[in-house]
Structure 1
């Protein structure tokens, strides 16, 4: 039996878009982001490419890393 893919929410897509934008501004690769937040490269790649949603704990770590408030992230999209 195959897994049923869970659709990414519109908010999840906004967050992912904002993270990709910030990664570009900061010239940060997925590998570097993964290492910085203690996740695997594949894990980050799946989220950056909108195949999975980011966990709230990941968003919190990313915002701490980038010295920003999580509520500001969707505004970056």
Structure 2
């Protein structure tokens, strides 16, 4: 179907169209990087929390002190 001169492609892109296009592309790349960084930060915080819990459990276990009581078996 030939172009009948409708609203599509009736004018050439000007500088504002190019700026909007590059701005949209830059925003998409920046958003993707932000999502990746947020995922990395989440994994880092989860790992740090697990290490802290393991250290806390170890410290708690070191606080337990056993004592031996003598039992008199012969009355």
TM-score (normalised: structure 1): 0.30
Question: Which is greater in Rg?
Answer: 2
TM-score (normalised: structure 2): 0.30
